[in-house]
């Protein structure tokens, strides 16, 4: 079986999905189920104090017994905030140590601050977290994150929530070629073909949220993404044909074609036309 | 009278309370939450032991949808 292995655990799905931006928990659950994802990201936020204490909890809808929850540090701009958030997450999830680290650098672009990300990763790894790390598509940084002990590197395809697709496949290719740990494209996927391209490049998986949640029909898009990731993976494993620029090659036999019009003696039946 | 800051909001209590009592007070009993006190995690196993004192800063968090 062609499985995804992260930190020693085996997954059959190479699609990881977020749980934000859905209109309600029912849509969240249906989209996640349809996507086939086994790893789902969650955010850690202050609970509402003294209001709606009976409102349903995300973890009742998507129980940790059924999914591998991947708590993130979305919204964190400093090492300290990211580390504290994940310590809270580990306590919340009964010691679960697989986490998604992201340290943002700028609220407008949500581009990662890699200097801070490296520092946070070092602290978290020392505290025995298994760190899947959101990163810029810089191959050197990606390698440093791997060398320090991250369990997966997750370069952006384009900005978080932008849906701009894969802007620099060449950098992703270098990161993939250099890595001995899983490489997952995280952020920027807009539609199914983007996910397929990522997988065809040789990515081990794709993580997305907005591409599904902000589709007109999120559940249908979740289905499309599931197929797109599978198709891209199979195409990668199958090995694509070589590109032959300006060198066409017919798929049908070149022998045995019926007599060409200019070699027959019979007159045209259509009169004057050539 | 003590004052605790809970998720950024000040709240007054008649006397020092432990974390279990605070959870009951906030109607969060049975909810899956995690609590940080002055930047340090309070393990669930210590909820009934840790006594909160005037000036404590508490963060009470849950998992929510995110990407």
Distance in Å, alpha carbon of A238 to nearest chain B alpha carbon: 31
The alpha helices in A57-168, defined as continuous H runs, are 58-61, 79-92, 114-126, 139-148
**Which residues of chain A have a Cβ shorter than 8 Å from any chain B Cβ?**
18-22, 28, 41-47, 49-50, 53, 57-59, 69, 71-72, 74, 84, 87-89, 91-93, 160-161, 207-210
Of B8, B28, B41, the CB nearest to A91: B41
Burial of A52 from C-beta contacts in 10 A (0-12 / 13-18 / 19+)? exposed
Q: Is A91 within 8 Å of B34 when comparing Cβ atoms?
A: yes
- The span from the CA of A30 to the CA of A11, in Å, is 20
Tokens of A168: 């620099």
Tokens of residue A268, six digits: 């045209």
ipTM of the complex: 0.94
23-42 of B, contacting A, C-beta below 8 A:
26-28, 31-36, 39, 41
Distances (CA, A) of A256 to A251, A260, A263, A264: 14, 11, 15, 16
Select from B26, B27, B41 the Cβ nearest to the Cβ of A88.
B41
Residue B8 CB neighbours (<10 A): 10
Whether residues A18 and B66 touch (CB distance < 8 A) is answered with yes
Based on the residue annotation, tell me whether A143 is a catalytic residue of this protein: no
Q: Residue A19 corresponds to which tokens in the numbers above?
A: 């749980």
Query: Smallest Cβ distance to A43: which of B9, B33, B65?
Result: B65
Q: What is the pTM for the complete model shown?
A: 0.90
pLDDT tens for chain A, residues 1 to 274: 799 999 999 999 999 999 999 999 999 999 999 999 999 999 999 998 876 666 788 998 999 999 999 999 999 999 999 999 999 999 999 999 999 999 999 999 999 999 999 999 999 999 999 999 999 999 999 999 999 999 999 999 999 999 999 999 999 999 999 999 999 999 999 999 999 999 999 999 999 999 999 999 999 999 999 999 999 999 999 999 998 888 888 899 989 999 888 876 665 555 555 4
Say how far apart CA A86 and CA A199 lie, in whole Å.
29
From the CB of residue B12, how many other CB atoms can be counted at a distance below 10 Å? 9
- List the structure tokens of B65: 């949808």
pLDDT tens by residue, A128-166: 999 999 999 999 999 999 999 999 999 999 999 999 999
């Amino acid at each position: 079986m062609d499985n995804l292995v992260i930190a020693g655990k085996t997954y059959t799905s190479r699609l990881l999905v977020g749980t934000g931006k859905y209109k309600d928990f029912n849509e969240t659950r249906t989209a996640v189920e349809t996507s086939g994802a086994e790893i789902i990201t969650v955010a850690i936020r202050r609970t509402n104090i003294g209001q709606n204490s009976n409102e349903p909890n995300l973890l009742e809808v998507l129980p940790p017994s059924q999914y591998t929850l991947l708590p993130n540090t979305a919204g964190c701009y400093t090492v300290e905030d990211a580390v504290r958030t994940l310590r809270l997450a580990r306590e919340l999830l009964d010691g679960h140590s697989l986490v998604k680290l992201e340290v943002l650098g700028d609220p407008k672009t949500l581009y990662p601050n890699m200097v801070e990300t490296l520092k946070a990763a070092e602290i978290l790894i020392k505290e025995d977290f298994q760190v899947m790390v959101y990163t810029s598509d810089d191959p050197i940084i990606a390698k440093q994150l791997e060398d320090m002990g991250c369990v997966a590197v997750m370069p952006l395809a384009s900005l978080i929530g932008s849906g701009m697709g894969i802007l620099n496949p060449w950098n992703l290719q270098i990161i993939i070629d250099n890595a001995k740990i899983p490489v997952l494209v995280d952020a920027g996927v807009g539609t199914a073909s983007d996910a397929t391209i990522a997988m065809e490049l040789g990515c081990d998986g794709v993580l997305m949220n907005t591409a599904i949640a902000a589709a007109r029909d999120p559940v249908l898009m979740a289905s499309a993404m599931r197929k797109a990731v599978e198709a891209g993976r199979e195409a990668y494993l199958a090995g694509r044909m070589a590109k032959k620029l300006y060198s066409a090659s017919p798929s049908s036999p070149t022998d045995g074609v019926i007599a060409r019009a200019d070699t027959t003696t019979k007159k045209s039946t259509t009169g004057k036309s050539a | 009278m003590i004052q605790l800051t809970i998720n950024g909001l000040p709240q007054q209590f008649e006397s020092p309370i432990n974390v279990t009592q605070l959870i009951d007070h906030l109607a969060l009993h049975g909810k899956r939450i995690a609590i940080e006190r002055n930047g340090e995690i309070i393990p669930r196993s210590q909820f009934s032991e840790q006594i909160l004192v005037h000036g404590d800063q508490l963060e009470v968090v849950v998992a929510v949808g995110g990407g």
